[in-house]
A and B are shown apart, each in its own frame.
Chain A
């Protein structure tokens, strides 16, 4: 078939038009992009799978922050850097991002136990000058405000805290003949109650306290480290930086665990050692009525909220009781304290924009949403009693706010990560081999930590 020259040229022009149109549109977009490129872009890195109770809540919260920040500050553009995986994976990936100034996020959210490490590496900016006159930071209790303070300068600010207390199933305790409300004043009271539960209801696990290494370094903070915090010598790391590997407090802690596991009062190792988020297992057991007492973290109460659904348990507020963990001498309450903090990169080119972002994230609504959805106690003291927080998981949220003042911050150092591994191994041995005595557990911990850190980095307390 012969095609005329004119028809050929017409077809050619049409064809070119079809190809050129999208290119033109794309080109126009490029111009628009070039316009956007003149904005200051800042990045924020965060854990998408571990901080919030569920990943969709994390996506929702961070998406809202991005939208709000971009609308409020049109001269900036916020780039989200979500980091997936469990907490150890997140920490590794974040540390690797910090290794290069080209990948270091301008702002990052990380656990409070990492602050000193990042600061000593030179990754964090001193943000003290930007906090002068801050409406939210001025309301932080000193224990939380000091979380990010090193050498008198502030390198990180808390977005929420985890502390611990005692949960108990009122029906289970009633059946065991324990008067309600139950307020143990000594560790012996807890053992006595657990024994009564075991006797009255053999199918119920009397006492849950995290043990073993499966939950990572934080597992101990939600479990047996609370006992150490309430012992006669709670020190983990001395002022000179040495790790305590033998002390009366450690022995008291291990002796308590020995009593729990040798008397069959603890949870089975299949649950304690579960790699599937062991510290959250009690929130699944209580609705089934198979657990009596738990020494556990504040987020367990929030797990039963409808929005979190881990699982949703509408009767939780009436079925469950809550109280503080007594110290060994019975004079006060005790708990560990650890939080998630925001820090600004030392290599950032726009600290003002970074602090504007932190201010948006710390606005009351955003802060409370984060604390509710992540299972944290708000760092702002006045938020502990406002309905939007207390009604999210009543009565747990309010009670843990009250208990926060009794909490002790966990150390932040490389040596602590090694120390806590030795501590968790010792608690795991006590749970798995109940014949192990408290002294034997402490000796094995001492041996492990000394072997890892060297004898010059450890010490014993009389």
Chain B
């Protein structure tokens, strides 16, 4: 009986076999590798090979000028050992963390605040305020940097508006000032994304909460925030990536000074490579930035794929 059943299974109609195949899972088709080859080739040429070379450069003694600009070679873990004990690097990492963290908090809070206020504003106010914020976002980093430099140094707009004529905000609170400038320049992006997400929240849910006598804080915490969460996470991660790469703003405002107070990792990498001629060590610091960016990038891709 058992064998008869087995025989039926083997020789009978193929319908049960089809049932065994899972169609809700991706299957490996070897032929797809051929189709993927051009994309993989491009990825290798444009990313993997340069990245691999940058990693290798970080482990050499290449300099911009000097004897090792021509005759350079692999030096093993020497640069990594130096990095571990480089107090300027750790200070730069800390400054970068503050700059990114401060920018994220500012961009999310101010962006959400503006987006929710503009939801309630009349149409002309929405156009004017929204337009100004978006212009600030679209402004080239060079212009934004010059604007903020002029505004925050002694005699600038900040001094005049606060009545502190002799106060140099940029020199007295350098990292805080450049972080505010960063928030200012990126809030437009956050406001647009948050605004779109806010408009997608079903009004029925809010109305039902109002009927249930939920306070505005409860409505925000229990309805708006959970529904905005995926958007906020995306804004946080993208802001982190954009801030990490924000070389121009700080270079124009402070060049990393005073005394390294705003020397974020991109500036420190540039300083090592081109001011001190240590191209290899600069490349190593660049690789650290790539690692940090990879963490944010992977998180973003995972969250984006979860949403889809």
Give 1 or 0 for each of A214-229: 1 = CB within 8 Å of chain B CB.
Answer: 1001000000000000
Given the interface pairs A92-B64, A273-B171, A452-B88, the reply to whether A121 lies near B69 with Cβ below 8 Å is yes
For the complex, give the distance between the alpha carbons of A358 and B17 in Å.
87
Cβ-defined partner of B259 (8 Å) among A92, A118, A425: A425
**B258 to A414, Cβ gap below 8 A?**
no
Counting residue pairs across A and B whose Cβ atoms lie within 8 Å, the total is 92
**B258 to A432, Cβ gap below 8 A?**
yes
Contacts of A38 in B (CB 8 A): none
Min CB distance, A388 to chain B, in Å? 36
**B155 to A120, Cβ gap below 8 A?**
no
Cβ-defined partner of B171 (8 Å) among A88, A96, A270: A270
Given the interface pairs A88-B275, A95-B64, A268-B168, the reply to whether A425 lies near B260 with Cβ below 8 Å is yes
Min CB distance, B13 to chain A, in Å? 72
For the complex, give the distance between the alpha carbons of A414 and B65 in Å.
8
Taking the complex as formed, is B1 at the interface, i.e. its CB lies under 8 A from any CB of chain A? no
Contacts of A269 in B (CB 8 A): 154, 168, 171, 258
Looking at chain B's contact residues, is the secondary structure mostly helix, strand, loop, or mixed?
loop
Contacts of B88 in A (CB 8 A): 448, 451-452
**A117 to B275, Cβ gap below 8 A?**
no
For the complex, give the distance between the alpha carbons of A454 and B256 in Å.
22
For the complex, give the distance between the alpha carbons of A98 and B65 in Å.
9
Given the interface pairs A88-B274, A417-B276, A448-B88, the reply to whether A212 lies near B67 with Cβ below 8 Å is no
Taking the complex as formed, is B246 at the interface, i.e. its CB lies under 8 A from any CB of chain A? no
Taking the complex as formed, is B66 at the interface, i.e. its CB lies under 8 A from any CB of chain A? yes
Min CB distance, A411 to chain B, in Å? 14
Taking the complex as formed, is A375 at the interface, i.e. its CB lies under 8 A from any CB of chain B? no
Taking the complex as formed, is B87 at the interface, i.e. its CB lies under 8 A from any CB of chain A? yes
Q: How many positions in chain B have a CB within 8 Å of any CB in the partner chain?
A: 34
Contacts of A114 in B (CB 8 A): 65
Cβ-defined partner of A121 (8 Å) among B70, B254, B275: B70
Taking the complex as formed, is B269 at the interface, i.e. its CB lies under 8 A from any CB of chain A? no
For the complex, give the distance between the alpha carbons of A290 and B167 in Å.
19
Min CB distance, A52 to chain B, in Å? 23
Contacts of A274 in B (CB 8 A): 153
Contacts of B85 in A (CB 8 A): 451
For the complex, give the distance between the alpha carbons of A447 and B91 in Å.
13
Closest to A91 in B: B274
Contacts of A273 in B (CB 8 A): 171, 257-258
A–B pairs, 17, beta carbons within 8 Å: A91-B274, A117-B66, A121-B66, A121-B69, A123-B65, A213-B258, A268-B168, A270-B154, A270-B168, A275-B149, A414-B63, A418-B276, A421-B271, A425-B260, A429-B258, A451-B85, A451-B87
Residues of A within 8 A of B (CB): 88, 91-92, 95-96, 98-99, 114, 117-118, 120-123, 212-214, 217, 268-270, 273-275, 414, 417-418, 421, 425, 428-429, 432, 447-448, 451-452, 454
- Beyond A270-B168, A417-B276, A451-B86, 12 extra complex contacts between A and B, CB < 8 Å: A91-B274, A92-B64, A95-B65, A120-B67, A121-B65, A123-B65, A214-B257, A269-B258, A270-B170, A425-B259, A428-B258, A451-B88
